[in-house]
Amino acid sequence: MNRSGLLDQAWDPFHHQPARRAITLFAGLLICLLLSVFPAFAQDETPQRAMQLMQAGQFHEAELIWRQLARRDPKNAAVHASLGMTLAQQGDLTAATAEYRKSMALQPNQPGVSLNLGLAEFKQGHFALAVASFKAANTSKNLDGRLPLLIGMSYFGLHQYANAIPYFDRASKADPANLELHSVLAKSCLWSKKYDCALAEFKSLLAVNPDSVQVHMMMAEALDATNKKPEAIEELETAERSAPNEPMLHFELGYLYYTQRDFEKAIPELELETKINPSYALAYTYLGDIAFHKNDDATAESLLGKATHLQDDLRLAYFDLGCVYADQKRNQDALTAFLRAEKLDPSEPDAHYRLGRVYLALNEKQKADEEFAKTKSLHAKTEETLIQKVSGGDPSNPKQTE
């Protein structure tokens, strides 16, 4: 899931400050470059008038002139490129893209138009097309100042974090004081499982802002992924002291305590998460699991029932509910719960084994034997890392995992 504290909205690279600055810089630059890129305009007062209107911000009036010129000379690449720019400046990115492509078809080697096309695709969320256009534009020495950043942000939008890293690294070296650049580089390293890179970037960010709760939380994810649970816990405890009401923070800390089987520390953290974030199903799931292991079936059933009501794809919640029902000899309820757990992850052996026992209790020996046979061919999975738990290893994953 996109946890609060790491991303505060559905991710949109256009709303990242570095990308916005690059786009603004290029938009102004390209208006100024059009006369030099298309010198044929200098002999005709009509294009000159259109250019003057564009520089004055009168894009609709300029559009009318460019459309007139496009009808007069439909094979003029410069006219289509200029028309595309006036449309883009008015927010009609689909039409702008079409004009840029007409221009490129007529005259392929135009770095400035490739850049404009990339910007239009980028703003529409067509990140793969943006990458191709930005790379074509990157051949021009006059336009490459911010292109590595835009290529990196496009790969970021595609969730191709490993591909984004070298471009963010290049951009951050060119602008070492830009903390936002270091932040997206750190996230790219984290989400592509390049943990040494992530830890180095997080440490540099904390050196500037030691109280950044979000950085401490992501640092904890990287440390946990490298089997440094005590250090990960320490990072989360530091974040907790700075922002005790931060959503997801108490769950992450509670979950790490849970994986260490330190239930006495895990319980209050998970309970705090349910108060701060009452619809977060995983917190109830692990509180229910702890209650089940403490043989408190009534509390476990209540908590696990709430978890499955909030979210219907939590395997552990259904498995534990099945165990509670089986202990109470509620075999039909147990059967329903175990079947759901098995469907959510057929590779886990425990649900097959418990299903086999329930089938035996229901005098269905053939089905029981089938489930026991499946159990022998499977192996229990290891505990998930913190980053797998909160994002499935990828912030594009919209669901909580368990």
**pLDDT at 382 (0 to 100):** 65
Same domain, 52 and 150: yes
Q: What number is the average pLDDT over the span 152-159?
A: 95
Same domain, 136 and 22: yes
Q: Is residue 386 part of a domain?
A: yes
Same domain, 261 and 304: no
Q: Which of 231, 246, 275 is the last residue of a domain?
A: 275
Tens digit of pLDDT for each residue in 103-143? Answer: 999 999 998 899 999 999 999 999 999 999 999 988 766 55
**pLDDT at 35 (0 to 100):** 46
Residue 95 is encoded by which pair of tokens? Answer: 């039409």
CA distance 28 to 335: 66
Distance of CA 175 to the CA centre of its chain: 24
Task: Specify burial of residue 194 (Cβ count, 10 A radius: 0-12, 13-18, 19+).
Answer: middle
Q: Is residue 196 part of a domain?
A: no
**pLDDT at 44 (0 to 100):** 61
Tens digit of pLDDT for each residue in 302-333? Answer: 999 999 999 999 999 999 999 999 999 999 99
Q: What number is the average pLDDT over the span 204-233?
A: 94
Q: What number is the average pLDDT over the span 74-89?
A: 94
Same domain, 18 and 74: yes
Q: For residue 393, how many other CB atoms are within 10 A of its CB?
A: 19
Q: Which of 223, 246, 275 is the last residue of a domain?
A: 275
Q: Is residue 301 part of a domain?
A: yes
Q: Is residue 172 part of a domain?
A: no
Query: How confident is residue 6, by pLDDT bands cut at 50, 70 and 90?
Result: very low
**pLDDT at 21 (0 to 100):** 55
CATH number, position 31: 1.25.40.10
Same domain, 222 and 312: no
Mean pLDDT, rounded, of the chain? 87
Q: Is residue 346 part of a domain?
A: yes
Domain count across the chain: 3
pTM for this predicted structure: 0.78
More confident residue, 244 or 16: 244
More confident residue, 27 or 172: 172
Q: Is residue 7 part of a domain?
A: no
Same domain, 264 and 290: no
Percent pLDDT > 70 in the chain is: 83
Q: Is residue 199 part of a domain?
A: no
Same domain, 134 and 233: no
**pLDDT at 140 (0 to 100):** 67
Same domain, 362 and 257: no
Task: Specify burial of residue 266 (Cβ count, 10 A radius: 0-12, 13-18, 19+).
Answer: buried
Tens digit of pLDDT for each residue in 218-228? Answer: 999 999 999 99
3-class secondary-structure state, position 362: coil
Residue 271 is encoded by which pair of tokens? Answer: 């309970």
Q: Which of 92, 126, 159 is the last residue of a domain?
A: 159
Q: What domain range includes position 336? A: 279-402
Dihedral sign (CA 297, 303, 304, 309): positive
Same domain, 234 and 316: no
Same domain, 222 and 260: yes
Query: How confident is residue 176, by pLDDT bands cut at 50, 70 and 90?
Result: confident
**pLDDT at 19 (0 to 100):** 57
Tens digit of pLDDT for each residue in 371-385? Answer: 999 998 887 666 677
Q: What number is the average pLDDT over the span 32-42?
A: 47
Same domain, 299 and 329: yes
Same domain, 148 and 21: yes
Q: What number is the average pLDDT over the span 180-186?
A: 92
Q: How far is CA 251 from CA 301, 302, 400, in A?
A: 20, 19, 12
Distance of CA 109 to the CA centre of its chain: 34
